[in-house]
Amino acid sequence: MAAPSAFDVVVIGGGITGAGVARDLSLRGLSVLLLEKGDWGAGTSGSSSWMIHGGLRYLEFDWDTTRLSNQDSGHIVSIARNFVTRIVFIVPVLQGDRNNIEEVETALEVYDRYQPLKHSHSHRRLTPEEALAIEPGLTPDLVGAMTLEEWGVDPHRLVFANVQDAVAHGARALNHTRVTELIRDAGKVIGVRYRTADGATTEARARAVVNATGPWSPEVGAMAGVKIELRPAKGIHIVYPHRISNFSISTESVDGRDLLMVAHAGFTLLGTTDDDFYGDLDSVDVVEDEVDYLLQGFERVFPSIRDYRPVRTTAGVRPTLFKWRKYEDELSRRYEVVDHAAQGADGFVSIVGGKLSMYRLMAEETSDAVCRKLAHQAECTTARTPLPGNEAEPAPVAELASRCGVPALAVVKLQSRHGSNAEKVLDEGGTSRILCRCEPVTEGELVFAARHEQVRSLADAFRRVGVAAGPCAGAACILRAAEVVGHELGWSASQRFDAAREFVRGAWLGRAPVLGHAGWAQEELAQGSMRGLTVRNGSR
Amino acid sequence: MGRADSLVKLAWAYGIHLTRRRFSRRRSQLADLLETYAPDGIRPLDAATRERHPRLVTCINCGLCALAAGRVGRTRLPDLAASYMRLYPRVAAASSDLEGDDPDLAAAAAICPVGVPLEEVAAVVRRMTTR
């Protein structure tokens, strides 16, 4: 076992909340160790709807959550201005909908009061003809429509930017590192024992340990001998590798739940489901019924949805606070900071519940609680300190493309991930060759990610730079990606081969539930191009 | 309590909304909507493009089109057809990619295994990048 190290705080969990807490505490001058058992943002954060939103539907349950959510969304949009894009929803209203058009507009009028908090515009009301003019794919059976504005963000990049900033302020951050035990002494949690990616077991002592592991919180809480009760809820999305419309669409499912088709930069997310989950959190599968449930909901307002070819699905589990006798959809998205001292685990703090759009506030309140315990006085600055890559406007696209010899389109995508640091990434990567044509991604960006962004597998590369995220789903680029990452990380030829095979196998699990007619044709092509990877292993 | 309080407040807002609707003049908000979001590249597809759209985005990025157009590795249209069709909001920023290009799109389309109408895609992309 390696020699133990000492920190003020150990944060367990590298989703958006844990990364946010690590950043907040580091900015306040505390020494922090952040540990994540998988990759940054690979759990609940990455399988969200990729939105910073104010929570329109919470108006039915709790206006204060809507206010707080809008307020914190505004802070996030300000500190991550180069990473966010506007998302404009059309809310079509049909005869027989749960809410009539006047009720829908009433809710939006109330919501408009909070919209300025997140730098968004007020709603607009459209006649059926006007709605069809801006989105001709809508069903003609409209009573009318409203618009609603929210923000889109790549949660993987948002999480990593928080990790980056924490590290820039002195934190140590390790992904693929699993906490195996909490070290306890006379009713106090005094550190953690963890296993790193290379299999070494190490100890870290700390004055406080934060449990920010989302749906895994009860598991980590049990290590400290405390009970944490959640009501985990599974949500899936269908991913289309392109925009279906420039406008996003909100509608309702057969059982009256809200569904969203979200137009992000270069792809569309269609979701989500919300079902109580009792299974293995590390293996959340999508079943075809869930896919059909979503398509059925959208077909009603957007009849051509089945003409589009999805490329994969995502599945995640929300760490919803426990409540008995409520439907999943009615459960609060509020959060709680729990100091477990009263339960005999002094020095152990959990942050449970919540959502991406309020992560900064959740991190602030958790950090406040930790600072109180440690008698450390420092104010929170995360609401006004830009995340890395958001300190300035990005360079003009055409100029950068011409100077670095890459397509302007590649620069546009690069800037969406690195903001004002895009030039640095292009300069250091050393090659302008395009690796992934779909996104497109340059080899240089992947080199940079392997050197500086803790990419340890091809799935990490997918999350960090979007390699294999497009229509080919990796068929055209994953072998070359294995070469590039393998070269940087010193992988042998067989390790590169294994890495590509592992990626193909993982991607297949997410793709299988949405393979329709065209999907199977594409799958044949993809599998054919990687025959050596799949047939040899018999993984199909 | 929170739920009941929220519903009462919504009911009150509903009453105000209905009263206001009854006495206010209605004007179209469409032009205002389009103007508001144009700087963000959020523009509607026209009806003809909408109808053809599912065909325009079926590219699986096999790369055969680039081979047929004699442009392997040059990473412009049609090589990146799928990419240009994916990225509506900021695609105008990439208009410099299309300058001075005249690839053999007919040859490229002829070899496409999934039948992407590349000439049509190119026309749509050019329209998107120039407006």
CA distance A137 to chain B (A): 6
pLDDT in tens, B95-104: 888 777 678 8
Probe site for chain B from A58, A62, A409, A432 (most B CB atoms < 10 A): A409
Q: Angle at CA A223, nearest 5°, toward A219 and A224?
A: 120
What is the interface size between A and B, counted as CB pairs within 8 Å?
Answer: 186
Predicted local confidence at residue A536, as pLDDT: 46
Which of chain B's residues have a Cβ under 8 Å away from the Cβ of A88? Answer: 37, 42
Predicted local confidence at residue A522, as pLDDT: 65
Q: What is the largest CA-CA distance in chain A?
A: 70
The secondary structure element, H or E, covering residue A90 is strand A84-94
Which of chain B's residues have a Cβ under 8 Å away from the Cβ of A412? Answer: 87, 90-91, 93-94
Q: Residues of chain A whose pLDDT is less than 70?
A: 1-3, 325-333, 516-519, 521-522, 525-540
Of A102, A126, A406, nearest to B30 by CB-CB distance is: A126
B83 and chain A in contact, CB less than 8 A: yes
pLDDT in tens, A436-446: 888 889 999 99
Q: Do B14 and A106 touch (CB under 8 A)?
A: yes
| Chain B: residue whose CA lies nearest to A58 | B6
Structure tokens at A18: 């844990």
Q: Do B75 and A410 touch (CB under 8 A)?
A: yes
Q: Do A243 and B87 touch (CB under 8 A)?
A: yes
CA distance B69 to chain A (A): 16
B38 and chain A in contact, CB less than 8 A: no
pLDDT in tens, B45-59: 999 999 999 999 988
Q: List beta partners, residue A52.
A: A151
Cα distances from A79 to residues A82, A169, A465, A475, A540, in angstroms, run 9, 16, 20, 36, 44
Of A110, A246, A472, nearest to B89 by CB-CB distance is: A246
Q: Residues A21, A11: contact at Cβ < 8 Å?
A: yes
CA distance A481 to chain B (A): 16
| Chain B: residue whose CA lies nearest to A103 | B14
Structure tokens at B47: 């009806």
Calpha distance A258→A530 (Å, rounded): 39
Probe site for chain B from A60, A65, A242, A330 (most B CB atoms < 10 A): A242
pTM of the full predicted structure?
0.94
pLDDT in tens, B67-76: 888 776 566 7
Q: Do B114 and A518 touch (CB under 8 A)?
A: yes
pLDDT in tens, A218-272: 999 999 999 999 999 999 999 999 999 999 999 999 998 899 999 998 899 999 9
B91 and chain A in contact, CB less than 8 A: yes
Cα distances from A298 to residues A252, A254, A285, A481, in angstroms, run 8, 10, 22, 36
A439 and chain B in contact, CB less than 8 A: yes
Predicted local confidence at residue A327, as pLDDT: 61
Predicted local confidence at residue A538, as pLDDT: 44
Probe site for chain A from B61, B99, B121 (most A CB atoms < 10 A): B61
Q: Angle at CA A52, nearest 5°, toward A353 and A10?
A: 45
Buried b / exposed e over A488-523, threshold 16 CB at 10 Å, is: eeebeeeebbbbbbbbbeebbebbebbbeebbebbb
Structure tokens at A45: 């954060």
Burial of A28 (0-12, 13-18, 19+ CB in 10 A): buried
Q: Residues A393, A418: contact at Cβ < 8 Å?
A: no
Of A61, A406, A438, nearest to B82 by CB-CB distance is: A438
Q: Do A397 and B46 touch (CB under 8 A)?
A: no
Taking only residues 187 to 226 of chain A, the set having a beta carbon closer than 8 angstroms to any beta carbon of chain B reads none
Taking only residues 144 to 173 of chain A, the set having a beta carbon closer than 8 angstroms to any beta carbon of chain B reads 147
